[in-house]
Amino acid sequence: MSIQSGDVIGGRYRLIEPIAKGGQAEVWIARQDPFEQRVALKILIPKCGVLGVQRMHREAQVLAGLNHPSIVRLIDFGVLSGGSCFIAMEFIEGCRMKVLLRARRHSPAALLRLCEQVCAGLEAAHHLGVIHRDVKLSNVLIHRRSGVREQARVVDFGIARLMEGDPGITSDGVVLGSPRFMAPEQIRGEALDARIDIYAVGVLMFCCLAGRYPYNGRTAHEIMHSHLHGALPRLHVSASLPDPEGLVAVVRQAMARSPEDRFETMGALRAALQRHLPASSASGHRRRTAQG
């Protein structure tokens, strides 16, 4: 199925322009007729077959059960002819967190406040038994509107899994995720719980503070090997933050190689992050640097 601007999907969504494309789906800005409401329309690439449809249907089911300001809101799901389907979600005015970091216009405190919002959304998902399994910079959208505080929204629950009573689309032993954010047990294909999302948020915070990924490599295999065996690079936290040593400790605990050494819950990670963030503008704090 070849799609282009002006096409109507599902009888009610008129495509405006593409905004993202991956191996399994394209995401378009679309207008929902007859309401003139803009939505983000995720359309499955037909070659993904039955498994692709099952995964997208699962994503829609997961989103339908989640209602939180830090999680993108589901509007609709539909099956198309030719082995495809779509998910309609609220359209987020703004950019992906990856773009925000690249612009280097936000203070460390502002970036960590966004990470705190990510924690809140994932905490709500975990309370409902949902593990995201693919938390990364490109799966966090930053909602930006004039006069409104920026809001982080977690997206792409395509490989999410329920913690109990759900065999899922995949089984243990199958490695899914993004190498730069994958927890060691995820790389090894072991049984997973919510602590893999905690590890990924730790990587997210490392990126926000350091401006780079903790582990790099020429290939996905090299990156995953570093997650399994490499020492966590030293993290330099400076400028306006009042407690850099504390933040280094939070990141290191979130990224602990053993799940037992991480925060027990996303709520515990969020609370620890809050304790070490300034309550307001940090201009009055003495400049310090910590290394981890």
Could you give the count of Cα atoms lying within 13 Å of 71 in the half-sphere of its Cβ? 24
Q: How far is CA 284 from the centre of its chain?
A: 33
Q: Which amino acid is at 102?
A: R
> The domain that contains 117 carries what CATH number?
1.10.510.10
Judge if 35 and 125 occupy the same domain.
Answer: no
Tally of helices (H runs) and strands (E runs) in the chain: 8, 13
Enumerate the β-bridge partners of residue 204: none
The kind and range of the H/E element at 129 are none
Classify residue 143: in a domain, yes or no: yes
Burial profile 185-198: b = 16 or more Cβ within 10 angstroms, e = fewer? bbbeeeebebbbbb
Query: How many structural domains comprise the chain?
Result: 2
Q: What is the pLDDT of residue 146?
A: 63
Q: What is the pLDDT of residue 1?
A: 62
Judge if 141 and 206 occupy the same domain.
Answer: yes
Judge if 219 and 235 occupy the same domain.
Answer: yes
Classify residue 58: in a domain, yes or no: yes
Q: Enumerate residues 6+ apart whose C-beta is below 8 A from 191.
A: 172, 185
Question: Which two structure tokens, joined as six digits, stand for 60?
Answer: 């829609």
**Spatial contact of 29 and 16, defined as CB atoms under 8 Å apart:** yes
Classify residue 223: in a domain, yes or no: yes
CA triplet 168, 172, 175: central angle to 5 degrees?
Answer: 100
Classify residue 118: in a domain, yes or no: yes
Q: How far is CA 190 from the centre of its chain?
A: 21
The domain containing residue 174 runs over which residues? 94-291
Judge if 114 and 206 occupy the same domain.
Answer: yes
- Residue 195 is classified by DSSP as H
Question: Which two structure tokens, joined as six digits, stand for 199?
Answer: 């590890």
Classify residue 3: in a domain, yes or no: no
Q: Enumerate residues 6+ apart whose C-beta is below 8 A from 49.
A: 83
Classify residue 109: in a domain, yes or no: yes
Q: What is the pLDDT of residue 285?
A: 35
> The domain that contains 25 carries what CATH number?
3.30.200.20
- Among the candidates 90, 110, 126, a domain finishes at 90
Judge if 110 and 245 occupy the same domain.
Answer: yes
User: What's the average pLDDT block by block, 10 residues per block, for the chain (292 residues)?
Assistant: 88 93 89 90 87 88 92 94 91 92 89 96 95 94 81 87 53 67 95 96 95 93 95 78 87 97 98 84 38 56
Q: Is 243 a catalytic residue?
A: no
Catalytic option among 7, 33, 134, 166 = 134
Judge if 195 and 232 occupy the same domain.
Answer: yes
